[in-house]
Amino acid sequence: MSFYISKLDKQTQVRKGSGFIVRPTGKLVDDFSITYIELNDSRDPPDSDKATEINKGFSCIYVVIQGRLTFTFYEQDGVKETILQEKEYVYVTPGTKYQIKGTGILLTIALPAYSDQMYSHPSI
């Protein structure tokens, strides 16, 4: 097959916390998957003492579709913050610890396709 299509009627919705909704589009192939994240004056991950970390073998692209979101990266040499707005994106590689806060909609591209082993949530 030379193409794959994801339709709205096949997508699901998961509420991860107050003002935090995840809409996976379903896994079509092993190479990548796409998920929409909606934050409404909220953060990902929802626990204020946790960060998200991409595990070895995975990476993720976050594209801001709507709104303005603050990405905070926790690195060995300190904390770095950047604000992304519509049509801007960030590519996150394995071992990166970060959080996302604000109001907006993100399109996320997981490489390879999302699995339960993609993320961990260490304390910050």
pLDDT in tens, 43-102: 998 888 999 999 999 999 999 999 999 999 999 999 999 999 999 999 999 999 999 999
Per-residue model confidence (pLDDT) at position 122? 93
* Tokens (6 digits) for 82: 């950047």
- The pLDDT assigned to 81 comes to 97
pLDDT at 8: 85
Across the range 2-28, mean pLDDT stands at 90
Distance (Å, rounded) from C-alpha 66 to C-alpha 69? 9
Q: Kindly state the percentage of the chain with pLDDT values over 70.
A: 99
Give the sign of the dihedral formed by CA 104, CA 75, CA 32, CA 19: negative
